[in-house]
């Protein structure tokens, strides 16, 4: 017999013996239920990237949220608290000034507002507050557009992840271009127009 085969056989024998030793004396399988994992209380929730070490876990302060605690650690939406898209759409449409809402993809909720006075971060805050009871809003980016806009600048959308500062996204949540015209191209066009006058 080869050394590798003997080593493998010894490992299997050890595993079998340790399995037998852990069963009760009567030879019957244990009927005890496996311990269930209980999620930590909200103030102990940690933001951790897949594969990150324990040293990278960032505990939250009581009353804090993932946006405050995470720092450089990517924030990952809780897969156990998904947002129901239809309920979220209806909740968004119930916010004052919202004309309609539609999901563009799994993360981006496009919301059409009825006037410039509603195209602001406060409206996004109100929408996110309405979505909060439905699940983990870290998985939601709200994109606002004024449907009454008369100029291209006024029609430009603003967006933000419900739990993060403007411009930031959760892990694996790319920034989606909502505008028909690339913002960089629009900026270059404005600069050209300013030079011509």
Which has the higher per-residue pLDDT, 95 or 156?
95
What is the reported pTM?
0.57
The rounded distance, in Å, linking the Cα atoms of 163 and 133 is 14
Q: Which two tokens stand for residue 186?
A: 């629009």
Q: What is the pLDDT of residue 154?
A: 83
- For residues 33-52, average pLDDT: 43
Helix (H) or strand (E) holding 99: strand 98-103
* Cross-strand partners of 113: 98, 146
Question: 158: closest CA among 85, 109, 107, 94?
Answer: 109
Q: 49-108: per-residue pLDDT in tens?
A: 444 443 444 444 444 444 445 455 668 889 999 999 999 999 999 999 999 999 999 999
Q: Which two tokens stand for residue 85?
A: 């898209």
Q: What is the pLDDT of residue 153?
A: 78
Q: Where are the domains of the chain?
A: 63-196
Do the bridges between strand 108-113 and strand 141-146 make them parallel or antiparallel, or are there none, so unpaired?
parallel
């Amino acid at each position: 017999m080869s050394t590798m085969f003997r080593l493998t056989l010894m490992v299997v024998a050890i595993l079998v013996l340790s399995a037998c030793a852990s069963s009760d004396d009567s030879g019957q399988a244990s009927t005890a239920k496996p311990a269930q994992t209980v999620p930590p209380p909200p103030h102990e929730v940690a933001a951790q990237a897949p594969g990150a070490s324990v040293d990278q876990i960032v505990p939250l302060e009581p009353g804090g949220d993932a946006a405050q605690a995470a720092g450089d650690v990517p924030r990952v939406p809780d897969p156990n608290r998904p947002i129901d898209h239809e309920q979220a759409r209806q909740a968004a449409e119930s916010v004052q000034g919202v004309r309609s809402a539609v999901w563009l993809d799994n993360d981006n909720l496009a919301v059409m507002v009825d006037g410039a006075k509603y195209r602001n971060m406060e409206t996004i805050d109100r929408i996110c507050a309405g979505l909060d009871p439905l699940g983990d809003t870290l998985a939601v980016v709200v994109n606002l557009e004024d449907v009454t806009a008369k100029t291209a600048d006024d029609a430009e959308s603003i967006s933000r992840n419900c739990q993060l500062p403007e411009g930031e996204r959760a892990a694996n949540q790319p920034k989606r271009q909502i505008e028909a015209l690339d913002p960089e191209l629009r900026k270059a066009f404005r600069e050209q127009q300013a030079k011509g006058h």
